[in-house]
Amino acid sequence: AQSVTQLDSHVSVSEGTPVLLRCNYSSSYSPSLFWYVQHPNKGLQLLLKYTSAATLVKGINGFEAEFKKSETSFHLTKPSAHMSDAAEYFCVVTQVASGNTGKLIFGQGTTLQVKP
């Protein structure tokens, strides 16, 4: 079975300081991992994805994430927060296996607050 745990429900940072949103996953098979962002009253936007290529993945808007198999983690980072980064962030897993390409498993989400 697959699951995702986002370790913080709420993270608050000051503008210009680093962002760290933590995610641990569980998967019986080789996972594909994603981070999505949801701004208020909007749909989900794909930030970045890991699909067994490079373990350090770069995404949009300066975000990146590192896949660490030994720690079963996929933490999202950004060197310098911007006010526009304030949103809900979801860590997502799906398994790379034939016949199982339909379902994304979402973490509970982390609300990122950016203070001026």
Partner 1 sequence: EAGVTQSPTHLIKTRGQQATLRCSPISGHTSVYWYQQALGLGLQFLLWYDEGEERNRGNFPPRFSGRQFPNYSSELNVNALELEDSALYLCAERGPGYNEQFFGPGTRLTVL
> Given CA atoms 24, 93, 20, 112 in this order, what sign does their dihedral have?
negative
Instruction: Tell whether residue 103 is a contact of partner 1 (CB under 8 A).
Output: yes
Instruction: Tell whether residue 46 is a contact of partner 1 (CB under 8 A).
Output: yes
In the bound state with partner 1, the residue whose beta carbon lies nearer, of 15 and 51, is 51
Instruction: Tell whether residue 61 is a contact of partner 1 (CB under 8 A).
Output: no
Q: Compute CA distances 75 → 6, 30, 64, 99, whole Å.
A: 9, 17, 8, 28
Instruction: Tell whether residue 115 is a contact of partner 1 (CB under 8 A).
Output: no
Q: How far is residue 91's CA from residue 107's CA, in Å, rounded to a whole number?
A: 5
Residue from 42, 69, 82, 115 in contact with partner 1 (CB under 8 A): 42
Instruction: Tell whether residue 34 is a contact of partner 1 (CB under 8 A).
Output: yes
